[in-house]
Structure 1
Amino acid sequence: MKLSHVATAVALAVAGSAAMAGEVEVLHWWTSGGEAKSVGELKKIMQTKGNTWKDFAVAGGGGDNAMTVLKSRVVAGNPPAAAQIKGPAIQEWAAEGVLANLDPVAKAEKWDSLLPKVVADGMKYKGNYVAAPVNVHRVNWMWANEAVLKKSGVTGVPMTWDEFFAAADKIKKAGFIPVAHGGQNWQDFTTFESVVLGVGGPKFYQDALIKLDQKALTSPTMTKSLETFRKVKGYTDAASPGRDWNLATAMVIQEKAAFQFMGDWAKGEFTAAGKVPGKDYICAAAPGTANAYTFNVDSFAMFKLKDAAAQKAQADLAAAIMGTEFQEVFNLNKGSIPVRLNMDMAKFDDCAKLSSKDFVASSKAGTLLPSIAHGMAVKPAAEGAIKDAVSQFWNDDKISVADGVKSIAKAAAIQ
């Protein structure tokens, strides 16, 4: 079936109120507490529209297991209505000719005016919407324990890397761990991208980590970024290798450590521990990155379906995902923020309000940037190679900064 045929069918389904309600099968890996609760809300919205929800949850592997199952289903000619897919992987699936054209829904719901262009472009293939975004996670956060800073004589949040290292020295002297880090390659990469953004600024981040420009990757700015990155490692504890991210967050919560560089999913851990932002802990942009925003957007790609009732249900699902009701309840549960630009943030906490304010400001300023560490910026092969090079440098102090720069530049050349 051609994309244009699907578009016509979806348009008719959206327009025709007499169309029968159908079943919508959704592949996702949101099986933990808050996430499962959020999916339940989407199911309720679909049921109120008279549709049948078929849950296709595949746990584990951060979505790797789900992708394996999805491939076999698509190859067999039996795809689900929607699947949790994000970043450049959306375009890779679309290039296979298996995704549906969501333009009729997107136009009716005015998605182009509700989404920042950089996010909308990520949901499109050859100018047509093929996926619906669910949320925005800010990646370039720094979390801090208020009590540890006070006990260490640190006043205010460090805004630059120089201020950060001065604070880290005081924290170390006071007997605390300055940086709680989980030594896993994606956590190393998360810290690395915030360092690159803080040292080089948004334009450099774009050239080096989105365009993978060799000149930027081998520049003195990248050398300075790696020097800073290595210096950060000097303030982590010896037990960090292999530690899960949430255990690193727990170190900040329990007043064992001062800072953690992690996306806003860390906030869920503070909330679960009964901690309040601005009182018990601080959320701030990583040093030097307050004027920019690295994002990780979850989304659902929609697959071509033959049945008209199923197409109608799929169109209802796309509209519900971007609707204000789901955007609010899902993101309150998940710790992320709504991807819609015009959302009322009254029910959200101070960290989410700051995130939303910066999201809107950076989308206007052109400093809203896809996170390379979280699958938003480059194709999976290059991302994996750079991630490995970054972790090798982080884990082996014998690798010189010059060799680290060469290794990362070489990895970025992998297609």
Structure 2
Amino acid sequence: MPVADSALRRSLLSLALGAFATLGLGPAARAGEVEVLHWWTSGGEARAAQALKASLQAKGHQWKDFAVAGGGGDAAMTVLKSRVVSGNAPAAAQIKGPALQEWAAEGVLASIDDVAKAEHWDEVLPKVVADIMKYKGSYVAVPVNVHRVNWLWVNTAAFKKAGANVPTTWDEFFTAAEALKKAGITPIAHGGQNWQDLTTFEAVVIGVGGADFYRKALVQLDPATLKSPTMEKALATFKRIKPYTDRNAAGRDWNLATAMVIRGEAGMQIMGDWAKGEFIAAGKQPGKDFICTPAPGTAKAFSFNIDSFAMFKLKSDANTRAQRDLAAAILSPEFQETFSLNKGSIPVRLGLKMDKFDDCAKASAKDFVDTARSGALVPSLAHGMAVPAAAEGAIKDVISQFWNSDKMSAKEAMDRLATAARTR
């Protein structure tokens, strides 16, 4: 999770004394050593990290792995704060979204404009992505990959049994849900966790209001948009989904919900493309056993979640050169392909051949390019890409409260959303 600016400052100050006591500065780094903090510890991710390591070693540099498992990065951020205040920052750390700006504001990130210019990053990256990687106009981070969040996953056998059609609109979605319900199949696999609630909600907002509306409401946090008739309709549509989930949804992990669709116990799930990895691991084939399609009404929009590495200021010239080579390697066509094939995502670099990717990834890559051109490429609120962590957390709480309440009206939820958006 990103850390809000004020929270980050407090955390750095509060951790300083303890960090100096527990973490020494350590031996001097070897020439050309690059230390990388990440949480790529699962099978596919670990293989991708090894590919990056091999790329650096081929250039004569030493790779020092700084993997911190657990918590979706929360544990890694705690360790990183300690390292930074001790004056012993790694060369690169896995940080994303608005948190990049918060770290850069602390003065600890290095400009990598020299690499970006030499490698033509402004030409090979969509502007909306490049802007997230910059602080005051200078690159301080390099993006790794792209996950599309606004996917709908469909079990083809379940739909055939129910006589349902794959929906492209919210009206069609509820028609399909009714057919699945009558066939004795749970229509929507859902995990009742706040980030999953928000993932579903942002897909509804895009589907009901479009990309521009979503951007004004959930990225710019415009008060009038948050309290508009369109937002009221989005909230009402979102709430209509819940009766089509099962009673055991509360607290369920996303992958267990995906497993329900894989087994045909449920017909659909709204989830990012990491769900595809679960289908593939179960031996299922896209287009045959399951269908990946944009969430209803969102075919012309793309809600993204991007992994990225922030580059920290270093004292050693040799290590700085290694850090620059790391940044260049991450956006190289070879690594972009290798990593995304392992992780189930798509390359963030534009213009790459997709011959080795499956149909879901090919469709995602085409939509990524098309929406970058049309202006419908938007950052995911639910996955830390859109707003500072404090506002995201407050909005997340409101959405889950609305989802789980039998008494809260859409208008009351709108008022609470507008208040949550002011959280800093």
| Same-fold call, TM cutoff 0.5 | yes
Equivalent residue number for residue 36 of structure 2: 26
Tell me, what secondary structure is at the counterpart of 1:183?
Answer: coil
Equivalent residue number for residue 263 of structure 1: 272
Structure 1 residue 30: Cα displacement: 1.0
Which one of 54, 71, 76 corresponds to residue 61 of structure 1? 71
Tell me, what secondary structure is at the counterpart of 2:102?
Answer: helix
Equivalent residue number for residue 326 of structure 2: 317
Equivalent residue number for residue 212 of structure 1: 221
Aligned residues: 395
Which one of 117, 126, 130 corresponds to residue 127 of structure 2? 117
Equivalent residue number for residue 361 of structure 1: 370
Equivalent residue number for residue 256 of structure 2: 247
User: What amino acid does structure 2 have at the position aligned with 1:67?
Assistant: M
User: What amino acid does structure 1 have at the position aligned with 2:182?
Assistant: K
The one-character-per-residue Cα deviations of 1:97-145 (angstroms, maximum 9, x if unpaired) are 1001101101111000000000000000011000000000000000000
RMSD of Structure 2 on Structure 1 (CA) = 0.8
The one-character-per-residue Cα deviations of 1:155-203 (angstroms, maximum 9, x if unpaired) are 3x21100011011100100000000000100000000000000011111
User: What amino acid does structure 1 have at the position aligned with 2:328?
Assistant: A
Structure 1 residue 55: Cα displacement: 0.5
% same residue? 69
Q: Measure the CA separation in 2 of the matches of 1:290 and 1:319.
A: 33
The one-character-per-residue Cα deviations of 1:257-312 (angstroms, maximum 9, x if unpaired) are 01000000000000100111000000000000000000001000000001011001
Matched, 1:296 2:305: yes
Equivalent residue number for residue 175 of structure 1: 184
Q: Measure the CA separation in 2 of the matches of 1:402 and 1:368.
A: 28
Q: Measure the CA separation in 2 of the matches of 1:171 and 1:255.
A: 11
Structure 1 residue 397: Cα displacement: 1.8
Equivalent residue number for residue 10 of structure 2: none
Unaligned runs of at least 5 residues, structure 2: 1-29
Question: Would the aligned equivalents of 1:223 and 1:401 in 2 still touch at CA under 8 Å?
Answer: yes
User: What amino acid does structure 2 have at the position aligned with 1:288?
Assistant: G
Displacement over 3 Å in runs of 4+: none
Of 281-290 and 35-44, the range deviating more from structure 2: 35-44
Q: Measure the CA separation in 1 of the matches of 2:227 and 2:202.
A: 16
User: What amino acid does structure 2 have at the position aligned with 1:36?
Assistant: A
The one-character-per-residue Cα deviations of 1:207-251 (angstroms, maximum 9, x if unpaired) are 100010010000111110110000011110000000000000000
User: What amino acid does structure 2 have at the position aligned with 1:314?
Assistant: Q
Q: Measure the CA separation in 1 of the matches of 2:257 and 2:418.
A: 30
Question: Would the aligned equivalents of 1:145 and 1:259 in 2 still touch at CA under 8 Å?
Answer: yes
Q: Measure the CA separation in 2 of the matches of 1:64 and 1:212.
A: 25
The one-character-per-residue Cα deviations of 1:21-66 (angstroms, maximum 9, x if unpaired) are 6000000111111111111111111111111110001111111111
Which one of 61, 73, 97 corresponds to residue 87 of structure 1? 97
Structure 1 residue 395: Cα displacement: 1.2
Q: Measure the CA separation in 1 of the matches of 2:406 and 2:287.
A: 36
Which one of 212, 227, 231 corresponds to residue 240 of structure 2? 231
Q: Measure the CA separation in 1 of the matches of 2:39 and 2:401.
A: 29
User: What amino acid does structure 2 have at the position aligned with 1:391?
Assistant: S
Tell me, what secondary structure is at the counterpart of 2:315?
Answer: coil
Q: Measure the CA separation in 1 of the matches of 2:376 and 2:388.
A: 21
Tell me, what secondary structure is at the counterpart of 1:86?
Answer: coil
Unaligned runs of at least 5 residues, structure 1: 1-19
Matched, 1:151 2:161: yes
Of 400-409 and 284-293, the range deviating more from structure 2: 400-409
Equivalent residue number for residue 103 of structure 1: 113
Q: Measure the CA separation in 1 of the matches of 2:403 and 2:42.
A: 31
Equivalent residue number for residue 372 of structure 1: 381
Q: Measure the CA separation in 2 of the matches of 1:84 and 1:380.
A: 16
Normalised by the length of structure 2, the TM-score is 0.92
Q: Measure the CA separation in 2 of the matches of 1:324 and 1:201.
A: 32
Q: Measure the CA separation in 2 of the matches of 1:397 and 1:35.
A: 41
User: What amino acid does structure 2 have at the position aligned with 1:40?
Assistant: Q
User: What amino acid does structure 1 have at the position aligned with 2:205?
Assistant: V
User: What amino acid does structure 2 have at the position aligned with 1:294?
Assistant: S
Equivalent residue number for residue 352 of structure 1: 361
Of 403-412 and 99-108, the range deviating more from structure 2: 403-412
The one-character-per-residue Cα deviations of 1:312-358 (angstroms, maximum 9, x if unpaired) are 10001000000011100100000000000111100000000000000
Tell me, what secondary structure is at the counterpart of 1:136?
Answer: strand
Tell me, what secondary structure is at the counterpart of 1:234?
Answer: helix
Q: Measure the CA separation in 1 of the matches of 2:37 and 2:289.
A: 37
Question: Would the aligned equivalents of 1:42 and 1:326 in 2 still touch at CA under 8 Å?
Answer: yes
Q: Measure the CA separation in 2 of the matches of 1:293 and 1:129.
A: 23
Question: Would the aligned equivalents of 1:21 and 1:50 in 2 still touch at CA under 8 Å?
Answer: no
Tell me, what secondary structure is at the counterpart of 1:147?
Answer: helix
Equivalent residue number for residue 73 of structure 1: 83
Question: Would the aligned equivalents of 1:21 and 1:312 in 2 still touch at CA under 8 Å?
Answer: no
Q: Measure the CA separation in 1 of the matches of 2:419 and 2:136.
A: 30
Equivalent residue number for residue 6 of structure 2: none
What are the equivalent positions in structure 2 for 1:335-414 lying under 5 Å apart?
335-414=344-423
Question: Would the aligned equivalents of 1:209 and 1:377 in 2 still touch at CA under 8 Å?
Answer: yes
Tell me, what secondary structure is at the counterpart of 1:212?
Answer: coil
Structure 1 residue 407: Cα displacement: 1.2
